[in-house]
Amino acid sequence: MPELRQSLGAKACKWMEQMLIHGEGDRFGEPFRLLPWHREFLWRWYELDPADPGSWWYIEALVGAERGAVKTEFFAGLALLEFAGPEDFRRTTPIIHMAAGSYKQAGELFGQAQIMAGGTNDMQVASAPLHGLFDVFDQEILYRDNRPGRIERIAAEAGTAEGGKTSLFLADEPHEWTGRRERVYTVVSAALTKRTPPGRVCAMSTAGRGRGFFPARDTDPLVWRLYARGTLEAHKPGSRYLFDWREGPPEIDRDNPEELRAALAGMRAADVAWDVEVRAREIETRKIPWHEACRYYFNQFVEMGADSWLIEIPGAWSECADPAATPADGAEVVVGVDMALHHDSVGVIVAGLLSDGRVGWHPRHWSAAGNGRIDHRDVFRTIAGTIAQRWNVKAVTYDARFFEVPARLLEDEGVAVIEFAQSPERLIPADGLLFESVRDHRIAHPDDPVLNAHAASAAWREGERGRYLSKGKSAGHMDLIRAGSMATWELLAGARVDSDADFFTI
């Protein structure tokens, strides 16, 4: 049970329902009505610090909810509460940043706040109780009496942020904040410390694609880092991190009607903002793929993207997981290497036959350091040292780009090296063999989170001669899958291929 503290949550609820209206949608212009989970969050978010009753207890928050739980409109209400609400909630100079991953989503988020604030000059909403108090522009909302303060919208897609003296930072759907967008979250969050007392940050999101590490690593997606931190830290005594995440049961039998509907009924806005029966039928009729239902309807992190190569064999990759199935020490193995120069990652897979005939994988992975570069010397030392000392390396197969010099050095060490051209003629049969091996459970992998994420990201590219896994089509890194495909091919089929034959003609 969470520790009980004095809260102004009731006051927040009362003001929001008296002074705000619904934005775009079927209830446009009607008095704003909070959902039960909104009320629960407000009671927690506005708990007071027992040692300093003039300050809030929580500094950061992450809210996780399914699609359709009315997160965006609630965010707009929070912004107006701390900009126009009672003095208990307003800073002397409130600077509130409302941020989303894309320009479109930021516009939708800010548009709700504009309506609640009385509308813009071009679209007045005279029925709003706050109408006439503000100057409402496309990018910001200001006090009409020229008091200092503003509500400002930010699109993380822009990749930059001023980092001003933010009092409240509202981050919408951080599962979409990837790549350079993550920097906006970092910059604005850091600006919160410029205030005394510090500003606060609240993120609301649906689960992302791909799970990371516990504890999270810097290379994990932003929303996973926030989620992992909440899972590991938020329930500790004295934590100032409000972790309010609702997700479905870990195992749901979608073919059991009662179990499916019970799982849906346990979500935040079930039969209030959306209909349980409608969503159940969408799942049962396969109108929505199961992996998408897990993310959007049950708020669960999934390993598979919509265009993943594993779509055709759902569950096969996870069923190949076997942490104990590493090739035995001293066994003959093939090492696959997918190299990169900078701002990318390097994947190495050690592949060897197990006693039951499966191919066991052992992954190693390197990401770019703070300077954007990858330590190629460490990759070479790992292969020539750690791996070569543990196993009998039959060969190292590699993409010649960025690895030609290390390959020659490995030859000098007495290690056989095989260049694996990244052409459709070479990739089509190798990736086809890998697909069949996963489908037939002839691959055994250690259930490593990075490897799983790479498997989830990989996607097919269709060509005239067949299909192969393409980095350009993939949702994220797939270096370990490329390395594993090359290693598995050389281990199982490479020795049987006559290099002079037209084997790869499709």
pLDDT of 206-257, one tens digit each? 998 777 777 887 878 899 999 999 998 877 889 999 999 999 998 888 889 9
Q: Enumerate residues 6+ apart whose C-beta is below 8 A from 110.
A: 76, 98, 139, 151, 153
The answer to whether residue 2 sits within a structural domain is no
Q: Are 473 and 356 in the same domain?
A: yes
Mean of pLDDT values over 91-112: 91
The answer to whether residue 387 sits within a structural domain is yes
Whole-number pLDDT of residue 117: 96
Whole-number pLDDT of residue 36: 96
Q: Are 351 and 460 in the same domain?
A: yes
Paired tokens of 55: 């300050």
d(CA 336, CA 187): 38
Q: Are 33 and 115 in the same domain?
A: yes
- CATH number of the domain at 342, please: 3.30.420.240
Whole-number pLDDT of residue 503: 35
pLDDT, tens digit (0-9, with 9 covering 90-100), for 328-352: 999 999 999 998 765 567 899 999 9
d(CA 103, CA 311): 30
Mean of pLDDT values over 308-325: 86
Q: Are 445 and 467 in the same domain?
A: yes
Mean of pLDDT values over 471-498: 81
Q: Rounded mean pLDDT of the chain?
A: 88
The answer to whether residue 348 sits within a structural domain is yes
- CATH number of the domain at 144, please: 3.40.50.300
CA distances from 23 to 79, 106, 118, 463 (A): 14, 15, 10, 47
Q: Are 228 and 110 in the same domain?
A: yes
The confidence band for 497, taking pLDDT boundaries of 50, 70 and 90, is very low
Whole-number pLDDT of residue 217: 76
pTM of full prediction above 0.75: no
pLDDT, tens digit (0-9, with 9 covering 90-100), for 384-400: 999 999 999 999 999 88
The answer to whether residue 4 sits within a structural domain is no
Kindly report which listed range (83-97, 113-127, 180-194, 272-286) carries the lowest average pLDDT score.
180-194
Q: Are 239 and 286 in the same domain?
A: no
The structural domain count of the chain equals 3
Q: Are 76 and 175 in the same domain?
A: yes
pLDDT, tens digit (0-9, with 9 covering 90-100), for 9-67: 999 999 999 999 998 878 898 999 999 999 999 999 999 999 998 899 999 999 999 99
Q: Are 214 and 271 in the same domain?
A: no
User: Taking a C-beta distance cutoff of 8 angstroms, is the pair 468, 475 a contact?
Assistant: no
Q: Are 290 and 208 in the same domain?
A: no
Containing structural domain, residue 295: 257-302
Q: Are 217 and 264 in the same domain?
A: no
The answer to whether residue 210 sits within a structural domain is yes
The answer to whether residue 503 sits within a structural domain is no
The confidence band for 505, taking pLDDT boundaries of 50, 70 and 90, is very low
Nearest CA-CA partner of 111 in 82, 65, 151 = 151
The answer to whether residue 298 sits within a structural domain is yes
Q: Are 185 and 85 in the same domain?
A: yes
Q: Which amino acid is at 496?
A: R
d(CA 371, CA 488): 33
The answer to whether residue 307 sits within a structural domain is no
Q: Are 163 and 15 in the same domain?
A: yes
Dihedrals phi, psi of 131, to nearest 5 degrees: -60, 135
The b-or-e profile of 228-251 (16+ CB within 10 A means b, else e) is bbbeeebeeeebebbbbbbbbeee
